[in-house]
Structure 1
Amino acid sequence: MANYFAPGVYVEEVPPLARPIAGVGTSTAAFIGEADRLAAADVGKPKKFTNWSEFSAFIKGAGATPTTPIYTTANRTLALAVFGFFANGGTTCYVVPIAAGGMGNLQAPLDTLKPIDDISIVAAPGAQGTATKVQLMDHCFELQDRVAVLDGEKSPASDSTPDDIYGGPMPGGGPTTPDKFSFGAIYFPWLKVFNPLYTEGGAEPELLDVPPSGYVAGIWARVDATRGVFKAPANEGVVGIVDLERPMDKNKQISLNPPGINVIRPFGGSPTVYGARTLGGDRNGEYRYLNVRRFMNFLKESIDQGTQFVVFEPNTPALWQRIIRSVSDFLYNQWRDGALFGATPKDAFFVKCDAETNPASTREAGQVITEIGVAVTKPAEFVIFRIQQNTGA
């Protein structure tokens, strides 16, 4: 308490009753892929990049000169994925380069990504088969703050059979199955781009088939920046490609959409991401839509980081009111931005932290419990117009 001796007006700063919660970032990606020419110290370790120039200088390897080519046959898949990420709106990514032949087991590189808290998107461009897809989803399910972008198989036996595109039996089970499949989203088909190693008369083809995950991760980041993480990253054009590895139409998508395979389709010649489901689709219940999964990750992480001030505070009704105020203000902003459904904030969310959620036994255990309910908006996936003809009277 300050001492006051002379009459007058004194202006002092006091701590706010509630601290604002800032939304965490949702568009930082991490890529795992094969690379050559790198120093041993750079292999298997994540490195951060904020633009294509930084990454292209790195991927050239130690001792590179301005004339050193960016691409090699070994690093091409990874490098083109990162290029597609930045070309489609990505701004920040981590890259874990691994040695050739290391895409069959991603556990070691995935472990290096665990301590990096700002990652929210994970991909291993070109990884095929169910084993690597499951490793990516297990990683995201364990950390609960990121989602995996998965590539469909490059040359499936059928382009309308989910098991063939997934690389094995599609996720099954029911409510008792751990819901790790909602932490992954798979895209098909592969994309065609200009081959950076093509030379006229050479052995390399002019066009190259590349996995979609890097380009899709950039689209996620772009939609997050322009609309928000609550907006489904679909009905969005893919920038920086020539064509699709194969044409896809509505008839083929009919069998792929319910189990959660997101199709990229040509509309008027412009390839467009035309799906926004998590892997498993309908079996994931409330989390069958990708934007719901990612938005809930965003909410949990933001509230977690924004309420750290509560730890070790006296567990009293005054603290409960501070928690309610902080969380409610944050959710009100989400409702105002269009992320929560309801005509009023009361319809869109509730925050309960009182004597009922915190009885004496809970307080004695050193716990303060807050219950939060939100009504997350769902995408208008099926737009139906019913038209009838009325004759004039």
Structure 2
Amino acid sequence: MPTYLSPGVYVEEVASGSAPIAGVGTSTAGFIGRIPDSIDIPEPNPNYDPSQPTDETTNPTYITTPFAPVKAGEVKLCTNFSEFKKFFGNFSFNSYHRYLVHAVYGFFNNGGTRCYVVRVAERHHITAEFLEETFGAIDEIAMVAVPGIANVNINNAIITHCQNTQDRFAILDSPRDWDDDTWKTMQPGDENLPGRSDYAAFYFPWIKAFDPAYKINNPNTDAVFNVPPSGHLAGIYARVDQQRGVHKAPANETIRGALGLQYNITKAQQDGLNPQGINCIRNLNGNIRVWGARTLGGDANGEFKYINIRRLFNYLRESIDQGTQWTVFEPNNPELWSKITRNVNAFLTNVWSTGALFGNTPEEAFYVKCDEETNPPEVRDLGQVVTEIGVAVTKPAEFVIFRISQWSGSQ
């Protein structure tokens, strides 16, 4: 306490006791791609002479130049597609590099603004340990995808990473080429699918997109190429988060840049996939739309069968975690309990006002309890302060039903 030795007026700054909890970001993606040490990328030929006969051997419009991406394991932040090209190269002829380029391009094209990208030289390098080493310390990442690599072991490693961090979500691609008998009966745990998890979403089928490199190599074709949808989906997640909020299911959204689908799925076929948490992408009235919003496993995941519910809880947990770090080593007394209650109440009231929580009033939507009941002497002796929080979340209207009957109006 200050010491006062002479008469006078003393003005002091006193902490208000209010430490507002700010919501964390939910729109940053982490991409892993398999890229060789050198890539051949088609570039405009600076020596091309349009006045000369067009002979691709003596006067080519384009030439291929080697490009060396950043070293394997080095993570780069990209805030636009031009930054990505500087580190990892433009559209190319290499298959796995092509998948990553399309994914990142689709991410930004569909509304994404920030992503971290890391390359591996070989597919088997993608493990849970590798993900922890590269992405573990980057709290900003909220989504993880490995575009075009639908290996079960790799997908399980991504899921394990997301479950361990508890603040990020896996977006998984289906295998590229499946026969009808395989995809029509697939379910989590099959040979081609990872086990069920409410920290992951699985999308089928691949989408068709224009490929500039393919057009250069095959000028007489439409250059439409099958690409994995995970990057585009990550962009849609970001777009919906920004426009509506993380509580809105990232479904019934048009995929920008999608020109078609590898497989066209009917409603009857989706009836067998949706309960398993296989999210279908469908062509509806000429629009390529995301027509599923379930976590991998669907009905078996219980209260976390919807993507937006899991991601909302990730958001709440991470926001409260980061926003209450100031409480560590504070005196564990009723004053601290009231500060925690007040700050968490204020944060959840803001969340409720966005429509994320169900209830006509904040009191109906959530409760926060931090008092002598949750913190008896034996808990305080352990150095713990316990706060109990309950929230009522809004669930998506997945099945919209109208009951129509004839009505004989009276005169």
TM-score (norm 2): 0.86
How many residues end up aligned between the 2 structures?
A: 374
Q: What does residue 152 of structure 2 align with?
A: 130
> 2:234 corresponds to which letter in structure 1?
A
**Percent identity over paired residues:** 50
5+ residue gaps, structure 2, are 39-66
1:391 aligns with 2:408: yes
1:160 aligns with 2:176: no
> 1:292 corresponds to which letter in structure 2?
I
Whole-Å Cα distance in 1 between the matches of residues 188 and 19 of structure 2? 50
Instruction: Verify the 8 A CA contact 1:125 1:213 in the aligned structure 2.
Output: yes
Instruction: Verify the 8 A CA contact 1:236 1:273 in the aligned structure 2.
Output: yes
- After superposition, where does 1:175-194 map in structure 2 within 5 Å? 181-194=197-210
Output the aligned Cα RMSD: 2.3
Q: Give 1:327 deviation, angstroms.
A: 0.4
Secondary structure in structure 1 of the residue aligned to 2:309 = helix
Instruction: Verify the 8 A CA contact 1:45 1:109 in the aligned structure 2.
Output: no
Whole-Å Cα distance in 2 between the matches of residues 285 and 128 of structure 1? 25
- After superposition, where does 1:373-388 map in structure 2 within 5 Å? 373-388=390-405
Whole-Å Cα distance in 1 between the matches of residues 284 and 376 of structure 2? 58
- After superposition, where does 1:16-165 map in structure 2 within 5 Å? 16-36=16-36, 37=38, 42-60=71-89, 70-74=91-95, 75-99=97-121, 101-102=122-123, 105-111=126-132, 112-158=134-180, 159-163=183-187
Instruction: Verify the 8 A CA contact 1:104 1:132 in the aligned structure 2.
Output: no
1:365 aligns with 2:387: no
Whole-Å Cα distance in 1 between the matches of residues 91 and 136 of structure 2? 29
Instruction: Verify the 8 A CA contact 2:128 2:160 in the aligned structure 1.
Output: no
Give the number of the structure whose alpha-carbon radius of gyration is greater.
2
Deviations along 1:155-180, one digit per CA (max 9) or x if unpaired, are 222332224996536746xxxxxxxx
User: Are residues 301 and 201 of structure 1, via their aligned partners in 2, closer, same or farther at CA, if it must alter by over 3 Å?
Assistant: closer
Q: What does residue 343 of structure 1 align with?
A: 360
Whole-Å Cα distance in 1 between the matches of residues 163 and 25 of structure 2? 18
Secondary structure in structure 2 of the residue aligned to 1:42 = coil
User: Are residues 133 and 295 of structure 1, via their aligned partners in 2, closer, same or farther at CA, if it must alter by over 3 Å?
Assistant: same
Whole-Å Cα distance in 2 between the matches of residues 324 and 184 of structure 1? 32
5+ residue gaps, structure 1, are 61-68, 173-180
Whole-Å Cα distance in 1 between the matches of residues 324 and 372 of structure 2? 19
User: Are residues 91 and 41 of structure 1, via their aligned partners in 2, closer, same or farther at CA, if it must alter by over 3 Å?
Assistant: closer
Whole-Å Cα distance in 2 between the matches of residues 218 and 107 of structure 1? 24
1:272 aligns with 2:294: no
Q: What does residue 49 of structure 2 align with?
A: none
Whole-Å Cα distance in 1 between the matches of residues 12 and 376 of structure 2? 37
Instruction: Verify the 8 A CA contact 1:129 1:166 in the aligned structure 2.
Output: no
> 2:131 corresponds to which letter in structure 1?
L
Instruction: Verify the 8 A CA contact 1:30 1:95 in the aligned structure 2.
Output: yes
> 2:20 corresponds to which letter in structure 1?
P
Instruction: Verify the 8 A CA contact 1:152 1:167 in the aligned structure 2.
Output: no
User: Are residues 155 and 41 of structure 1, via their aligned partners in 2, closer, same or farther at CA, if it must alter by over 3 Å?
Assistant: closer
Deviations along 1:217-274, one digit per CA (max 9) or x if unpaired, are 0000000000000110000000012111121121111001001011111111110001
Moved more, 109-118 or 75-84: 109-118
Deviations along 1:118-148, one digit per CA (max 9) or x if unpaired, are 1110000011232221111011001100000
Whole-Å Cα distance in 2 between the matches of residues 286 and 129 of structure 1? 28
